[in-house]
Structure 1
Amino acid sequence: MASKMASDFDDQFLTCPVCMLHFRDPRILPCLHTFCRECLQEWATKQQPLECPTCRTQVSLPDQGVDGLRTNFYVNNLLDFAAAKKGAEPGVPCQVCKGNVEGSKSWCADCAILMCESCTLLHRNFPCSKDHEVTPEETLKAEEAISKFHRKRHCDKHKNQELVFYCESCNALVCTACTVVDHRPGKDHNPVEIPSVAQKKKETLRGLLQGIDPRLNEIQASIKEIDRKISNLAPSKEVATDQVKAYFGQLIDLLQKREKEILSQIDDQCRADGKVLQTKKEAIEFELAGLTSARTFCQQAVEHGSDVHILEVGNQVQTRIETLLAKQLDLESDWSEFRFVENTTVVDFKKNIQALGGVKTDVDISKCKVVIKPAVEGFECITELTTMNKEGRPCVTSNKAVTINMKAPSGKNVPPHGQPQLKSGGVWEISYLPKVAGIYRLQVKVNLQQVPGSPFDVEVKGNPVLTIGQKVAGVGELGGPAGVAVDKDGAIAVVERQNKRVQIFNADTGQSLRNFPVEGEKPFGIDVDSSGAFFVTSWGEDFGLRHYSKEGRLLDTYKPDCMRCPHGLTVLKDGRMVVAEPTQNTCLLLQPDGSLIREIGKGKLHSPVFVSADEKRDVLFVTDFSAHKVFAFDLDGNFIFDFGRQGDSDGEFQTPYGVTTDPAGNIIVLNDDDGRVQVFGPDGKFIRTAVTVKGSGTGIVLTPDGYIAVTCFKGHCIEMCRYK
C-alpha cells in the first residue's frame, strides 16, 4: 500500500485536469474522475447536460449541484501530506507561533497545522487538544508515513465532533451528536461504527477488484490485437494493391489483344474486299471501253460519213452496237459495307464492371441487418445498415462496398441523397429524398450481394403522417381538442373542451394510453412541468388554472384575483407559469403557488390566446388572434418586437392561435382559420410554410423526435406532421 501511495504522490496525480493547479476541494464525479469544486461549477454553467471534462460521460448532478458530489479525501490526504512534508523542511516557520524555523516539527491531523516542538508540547497539554493525533517529523520522513497519514473528518453540523458512525439507512457519515439528535437508532436510522462498515465495504471492493484484472487483461489483449491489425493495414494494402494492378493489368492486356485481333480482322477484310471490288471494276471498265469506242465510231459515221461510207460499214456498226447493248452485264458490286459490332455494349459493360473485382472483407452478408426508419414525402429519410462479421458483431467495410438502389412507386430510380455514411462501427446511414407518398423498393447490397430481405418495401407516408381521433366521446376519440402538450414520456396530451377531459396518446401509433376528467366549463390550455404534472386552464363558469398529478389527480386550483378568462399557458422550468388572458388584453406571470408576479403585454396586446417561452433567450411569444400578430416580450415584461398582419400571403396570419419554438429558436405559428403552420426565424422573419392542416387549427406542440402535433378543434382530431 505504501508503494502504491508513493506512486500516486506526484504533481500530475495532485493536479486538476481543468485548471492545471493543485486540487482545491477535490470532488469526484460518478465516472470516478476528480476535479476542483470551483472548476466543476464553472464547467456546469457552460454546458447542459454536464459532461466529464476527461471522459465525456454525461453526469446527472445531485439536487445540491456540484456541492452534493463526494469529496476525494484520498487526494486531500496526499495534499496534506505534501504540505506537511514541505513544512517540515528547514527554513519553514511553525504555523502557530510563526517562529522556530530550524527546529523539528509535528503535524496535527485534527487541526491540519504544522507545529514546532514548543507548540506541539503546549498543544498536547491543552485539554481540548490533548487527544489530537499528532505525527512527529521523523514519522513524516519515513517511507511508510504516507500510508498512516489521514486527516480527521468532522461533522458539518457539529463542528467539534469527529465523524465516527455511518447511518446505513441514510447512507451518511455522522458524529456521536448526530446519533442522539438526527440519526437516533431505531426504525428509520441505523448508525454503525465506521470501521465495521468500512471493512465490509473493503471486502466488497476487493471482490470487484478481482473481477477488474481479467477484464483489464481482456481489454489490453483486444488493444494488442487491434494494434496488430493496424500494423497489418499497410502490408495488406500493398498486397491488395499489387493484386488489383496485376488483375486489371491482365484485363487490359486481354482487351488490348482483342483490340488488335479485331483491327487485324478489319485490315484483312478490307484487303479481301478491295481485291474483289478491283476485279469487278476492271471488268466493268472493259465493257465501258468497248461501248464507248462503238459509240464514238457510230457517231463519227453518222455525223461525218458519206452515203457510200454509211452503206459500206453501217451493217457492221449496227451489229456491234446491238451485240454490246444486248450483252448481260453484272454491274452490281455484291459488297456491303462492313462495321464493328459491340457484342457487349459500353453501357452493359459499365453495369457489369463491378463484377470484375472487389474488396473482400470479413463482412458476412447473411448476418447484415437493415432497419427501415419512418419515411415522409419531401423529407430526408434514413435507413440504417449494420455490416456484421461471422461472429455477428458489427464490422467496418469500405463505403464503396455498400451499394443501394431505390425505385419509386412509378418504377423510376430514386437517386440516393449522397453516399452511405458510416456513423459508428459497422453502422451505415443510407439517406434518400422521396418526393411522393407510396411504396418504394429499396435494394441494399454489400460486396455485390444483397443483404437478407433485400429488396425492401419502404412505405413513404404523406404529411400528416398520422391522424388521431374523431368526433365522439369514447376512449381514443376526441371532442373539440384545444390545447396540446408533450409529457415527460414523449406522449401527446390533449385537453378536450366538449368531453372535459385530458387524454394521452402514443405519439407513434396514436393509441390512447389513458385519460382523466378535468373541472371547469370550457377547458382550453394545457402544459406539463418538469415533474410530469399537468396544468390545465378553463374559462367560462368555474374558470381557473388547475394542477393535476401525472395520474390525473387534482392537486390544486389557482384563481388569483387577476384571473378572469385563462386560455393558453406555458410552465417555466422553475415552476412559474404564464397564462394568456384575452378578455383583459394581457398575460399573467404567476408564481408556482398561483400568485401574481406581474402582467405582461398590457397596452400592446388585444386578444392574447396562446403563449410559448424560449427560456434559452428569455423570450415569451404570444399570439394575438384579433391583431393577427405575434408579440415577443421578455419575462420582465419588456416589449421586444412583433411580426405579422392579416392576410393569406407568406408571413401573414388569419387568426393565429397555437405557437411554439424549435431547438434552433425558430418560431412555429398555427393559423386557426386556414390551418397554415408557418415557421419564422428568431427575429420574426418568415422562413417557410411547414404544412397546412385540415380544418381550424388550435394548439400546436413540437415533439422530441421532430414532429408537430396540431389539434384541429372543428375536425375533432390531432394531426401529426413531420417538421423539417
Structure 2
Amino acid sequence: MACSKPSYDEIEENSLTTCSICLEEMENPKALPCLHSFCLKCLKGVAHPPGSFICPLCQEKNPLPPAGVDGFRDNFFINQMKERKAIFTIGQVIMPCTSCGTTDRQVAARCVDCNGFLCQQCVHSHETLAPLKVHTVFTLDELRSGTVDMSKVMKEECCQKHKDQVLRWYCKTCGIPICRDCTVMEHRHPEHDYVTIESATEGQLAEIKVLVANCKGLSHQIDEAITKTQQVKSKLEKSAVEAQKQLDEAQKAFLKAVKENYTANTNKLAEIKTNQSEKIDDATKSLQNLQSKLTNAMDVANQVIQTGSKHDVASNYSTLCKTLTQLQEVKPTGISKSFGVVQFKPSQKGSVEGVNLGTVSPQGLNPRDRNGKWVLEKEIGKEGQGRIKGGSGVAVDPNTRDIFIADYSDQDIKVFDLDGNYKRVLQGNLFNAYDVAVSANGFHFITDQTACVKVFSPDGTYLKQFPVISPKGKSSDTDGSLHGLTIDSDGNLLVGNCIYNKNYISKHKQDGTHISSINISMQPWFIGLTRQGKILITGESHMQIVDHTGKLLRKINKPKDAKSWQPYSSCCSNDGIIYVSSYGLEAQGGIYSFTEDGGYLGCVTTDVTLAHGIALIDDDRLVVVQYKHPAKIFYYVE
C-alpha cells in the first residue's frame, strides 16, 4: 500500500523536533538565543566553554551561560510538540504505559493529572479506583479529533531553578516567565515588575502575529535576490567563455611569439573569474543563511501562534520579537550585476613586435572602462496629480524601488513606482520639503524648512519629528536650517544643518536618538555616501569628500568639460562610481561621474535643467530631479 504524502504541518513539525546534529528526535532540547534548538547531549559534544558557541545551522555566535550548555533555556515547547506528535504515532511505534510501564498493551488514552499515556487496563483503574476517578482522562480518539484544547492536556511548564514550581507569572523587567518562588527571590518588587502570565500574553501573541505578517514579503525578496545573484554568475560564466574565445583567436594570430603574453592573460582571466565567482558565492551563501534564519524564526513563531500555550507564548515572546524585528531591518541586496562581466580588450597595435595581445579586466571593477552611454528613458511628474512643481531631493526605497521626490513648492513628497508611474503623496506637517530618505524597513525621513526631521511610517502616516544636535550638544528644535540627509550602512541617519553660519552633520538612530555630530567646512545642501562609507557633501561651487570625523579627504572643483559647475546632489553605485548633479543656469547643467577617490571620469549627460536631487534606481538607471521641471530617468547602454 502506498504511503500518504505528509502534510505541510507534519513536515514543519518534524523539522522543528529533529536535532540537526544527530538527525534524531531531540532529547532534552535546549534553545539557543538564535532560536535554533538541539539535544543537550549533542550541544555538550560540540560546545567547548568558556566563551561563546557558534550555532551549527546559522553560524551565529551565542554566548555560553556560566553553567555551560546546561544553562541554555529548556525548550519545553518542543517537548510538548513531541508529545502531541506521539498521540498520532501510537500504533506505529511501541510506547510504554506511563502508569504501569508495560509495552505488551497498546496505549489507549492520556491522563492530564498523571501527565502520561495509559494502557487500557490503567484506564479501567482510573474509572474504578476512587483516588483516580477525579483525574481528567482523554482517549486517543478524543485527542485526535481536534476538539480538545491541547494546551490543557499538556503539563504546565516548570521553573528551571525551582523544579517543582509552575511558571504562572511573567517578569516584565527581565522579559521571562517566572514561578511563585522567583517572585520572592530573584524577581522581587520593586526592582522587578511582574504580572500574571495570562495578562502578559494577551498582547504578546498579537505582536508576534504582526511581526510574522510583516516578514512574509522578506522571504520572497530574499528568493528574488538569490535568483538574481545566480543569474549574475551565469552571466559571468558565459562572458568568461566569450572572453576566452576572443583571447584564443588573438593567440592564433600572433602564433608562438605571443605565448608568454597569452599565458599571463589567461592566468589573469582565471584569477579575475575566481575572485568574482567567490564574491558571488559569498553573496549567495549570505542570502541563503539569511533565508534559513528567517524560515526558522517564522516556523517557530507560526507553531507558537497555531498550537502554543500561554507559557509557550511567554517563553518565546522576547526572543521571537527581537529576532523578527532584526530580520525586518535586513535588506537582501544580492550583488552588483557588474560582477557578472569579465572582458578581453585586444591590442590596437596589431603587431607581434610588442607581444601584447591586449588586457583582461573585470568590467565592473574599473569605472574608467565603461564605454557605454546614458540615454533618457522618460520624464516623470510632468502633468496631472503627480506633477512636480519644485523638485528638490530624491530617494529610492531599497526594497520596492519606489521613487520618493520632495516637492519644495507643493510642500509634499510625491511617490512614483520604479517605472516612473505616479502612486501617491505624503502630506501634512511639512513646510517646503527639501530632502527625503527611505530606510530598509520602509520608514520615510524628511527635512524641510523647519529645524526638525519628520518621520513617516511605511504606509505614509506622519509619526513624529525630532531635532538634530550640534557638536556642542545643543538641540536645533527652534534654530537652524536642515538640508540633505542620507542613511548609512548601519541604518543610521546623517542630517546636514547650518546654524549661525556653522555647518555640521548630525548622526541619529532612526528613533531620533542622537549618536554624534561633526563640524564641516561647507554648507551641506545634500549628503551622499560612497561604498567605503566616506561622506559626499555638495553645495556652493564644489564638492567635498570627508571621513566620519569631518576631515577633508578631497575637494572636487569644476570638471574641465563642464560649462557651469554648481554641484547639488550625489550618489554612489555598487561599482564605486559617484554621480553628481550640477544645477547650471541657462540650460548648462549636467550629470558628471567620478571614482570613489574623486578622480574625474566624464560627463554623463547635459540633458538636464536646474538639476537638484539624484539617486540610483539600480546601477544602470538614474533618476534626476529638476527644479520647476519634470524629473528624468536615464538608463545605461553599452
Normalised by the size of structure 2, how large is the TM-score? 0.44
The structure, 1 or 2, with the larger RCO (C-alpha pairs under 8 Å, 6+ apart) is 2
Higher Cα radius of gyration? 1
Normalised by the size of structure 1, how large is the TM-score? 0.39
